[in-house]
Amino acid sequence: MRALLSNAALWLPLSVAFGVQLYKMLAFWVQTGRIDFKVLAQAGGMPSSHSAMVCSLMTAIGYQYGLDSGLFAIAVVLAVIVMYDARGVRQESGKQARVINQILQTFFSGHPLTDAQLKELIGHTTLQVIVGGIIGVIYTLIYLISRDWV
């Protein structure tokens, strides 16, 4: 159990992802004056918590096992896939949802097919992905380097 609790490659990525989502919830509160705990579980927005998490994992693995290790290579490939998906596929799905919602509102106003709209904010811009990745790397390096100095 002690090994699990001290596993930086597990807890750093999870904590940075939670921290980014907490930041988004606080930013929503500042912008709207309302606290909405659902923001903690929502995808999309600035910065990308998915990118922060996988870049934190990649950094922790690289720091612990070396940049020439197979584990680091796996973490890099995983990070690229997640960030590509967050930027590309999921953002395009959000654009399609926005258009479908507009079509439903235009053609079926007064006669709704359903009360639920498709979720539009599910992807990230390139900047959101990059900022999330940078946060994940810096957060992890600060922790790991400061831990080694103590």
Residue 15 token pair: 């904590």
pLDDT beyond 70 at 36: yes
pTM of the model: 0.77
Contact by Cβ (8 Å): 31, 17: no
- The closest of 11, 30, 43, 18 to 128, measured between CA atoms, is 43
81-130 per-position pLDDT tens digit: 999 888 766 566 666 666 666 666 666 666 555 555 545 555 678 899 99
Per-residue pLDDT band for 145 (boundaries 50, 70, 90) equals very high
Q: Within 13 Å, how many C-alpha atoms sit on residue 141's CB side? A: 9
pLDDT digits (tens, 9 = 90+) for 17-27: 999 999 999 98
Q: Please provide the average confidence, as pLDDT, over all residues in the chain.
A: 84
- Nearest residue to 97 (alpha-carbon basis) of 86, 89, 85, 108: 89
Residue 46: pLDDT band by 50, 70, 90 thresholds? confident
User: In the prediction, which pLDDT does 137 show?
Assistant: 98
Predicted local distance difference test score (pLDDT) of residue 133: 96
pLDDT at 62 over 60: yes
